[in-house]
Amino acid sequence: MSLKIALMPGDGIGPEVTEEAVRILKNVAEHSGKAISFTTHRIGGVAIDTDGMGLPEATLEAALSADAVLLGAVGHPKFEGRLPSERPEAALLALRQALGGFANLRPAICYPALARRTAFQPERVRGANLLIIRELLGGLYYGEPRGFEASGNTAFNTLIYSRHEIERVAKVGFERARERKKKLASIDKANVLETSRLWRAVVSEMGKNYPDVELEHVYVDTAAMRLATAPTSFDVMLCDNLFGDILSDQAGSIAGSLGVLPSATIGGRVDLYEPVHGSAPDIAGKGLANPIGAIASAAMLLRFSAKMDKEAAEIDHAIEDALAAGARTKDLASPGERVLSTREMGQTIEDALNEVRDRKHSYHGV
């Protein structure tokens, strides 16, 4: 059966990086025999300009009838004066809500070749490879009641979680941990918050069904400190909406550039894959964007939406190999290093992917 991918390149560097992710997916289709079909749809500023709205009906319909959505980025400075609800970013929020994914997966890898580019001492960060799983549809960001009191001098939000909401995201956490190093750190503030006490109790109960996964509970403040001092001590981190929002950005610092970070939002009607970065208007159209975040998002798409673990792992290897061989876009380059364009980086990763595959074949042939 064909894998139907709805492409939403969006604004700014979105189309440039999406093109390179598609290059890699086409390569995978050609070599694996898996039929992959693509349709392309407008979202964000480009849709406001053409269709008068950020998320046209046709785009939403295409997303809902696809097997997966691969998005570039949205946003353009010319819409900055508008109300939040009329800006391109509102279209992405509406799309995420319509697709209904409740688990946001943000891997953060310190590629050995980039360890020196991080704010860490290289020996502290080398080997760090984290997966943050953030609950996305509940908690403080959605809890009611919320608002301002009439005086305008008091404001309030509600932090609320139900067992069901915790169970479904914890299941994703345990299953991902099982596929990786079998280590899960559940993040909470159970010494202060009742919601965290429920979170901890539910995750502990579920842990009994995953005896092969080593579960630890870590207070969020301790987790922040550990991420900053010993990032290699974590593998999979399970977080509520607020803690995950903050810690996933902090974890991103181990990667060395925003341009290499991918993400997936899963568990809803259709899963959504997108690089973490925005539309980067300062470099759009110049061939300077790093496509690795988009390419690594495409690898996540193959892993989660097509169960093509082998092909996803080969892409991850190819990215690592390309970086190890010195491939650098501008955001990664040190003074004096050769700078590749977006397209050249995509081509270099495709070449590395072909080599990864060839190496495997010749190894099996021996």
Would you name the residues annotated as active-site residues? Answer: 141, 189, 221, 245, 249
Q: Which one of 49-57, 158-166, 276-284, 309-317 is the stretch in contact with ligand NAD (CB under 6 A)?
A: 276-284
CA dist 241 and 225 (Å) reads: 19
Q: Considering only residues 18, 195, 265, 290, which one is a binding residue for ligand NAD as defined by CB under 6 A?
A: 290
Strand partners, 105: 133, 264
Selected range binding ligand NAD among 55-63, 70-78, 148-156, 211-219, rule: CB under 6 A: 70-78
Contact 26, 36 (CB under 8 A): yes
CB of 202 to ligand NAD, least distance (A): 30
Number of residues that bind ligand NAD (CB under 6 A): 21
Q: Residue 284 is encoded by which pair of tokens?
A: 């759009």
CB of 89 to ligand NAD, least distance (A): 5
Instruction: Choose, by CB under 6 A, the member of 22, 74, 159, 172 that binds ligand NAD.
Output: 74
282 near ligand NAD, judged by CB under 6 A? yes
Based on the shown chain and the rule CB under 6 A, indicate whether residue 248 belongs to the binding site for ligand NAD: no
Residue of the chain from 56, 75, 262, 267 that contacts ligand NAD (CB under 6 A): 75
CA-wise closest residue to 327 among 302, 310, 312, 344 = 344
Rounded-to-integer distance, Cα 87 and Cα 48, Å:
9
Q: How far is the CB of 117 from ligand NAD (least distance, A)?
A: 12
Nearer of residues 59 and 195 to ligand NAD, judged by Cβ: 59
**Contact (Cβ atoms closer than 8 angstroms) between residue 281 and residue 118:** no
Specify the stretch interacting with ligand NAD by CB under 6 A; choose among 137-145, 243-251, 274-282, 308-316: 274-282
From candidates 128, 169, 283, 298, binder to ligand NAD by CB under 6 A: 283
Q: Whole-number minimum distance, CB 277 to ligand NAD, in Å? A: 3
Between residues 177 and 288, which has the closer beta carbon with respect to ligand NAD?
A: 288
Residue 356 interacting with ligand NAD (CB under 6 A): no
Judged by CB under 6 A, the chain residues 83 through 102 that form the site for ligand NAD are: 89, 92
Q: Burial, 152: exposed, middle or buried (Cβ in 10 Å; 0-12, 13-18, 19+)?
A: exposed
Residue 18 near ligand NAD by CB under 6 A: no
The answer to whether 47 contacts ligand NAD (rule: CB under 6 A) is: no
Residue ranges in 156-185 that form contacts with ligand NAD under rule CB under 6 A: none
Residues binding ligand NAD (CB under 6 A): 13, 17, 73-75, 89, 92, 258-259, 274, 277-283, 289-290, 293, 331
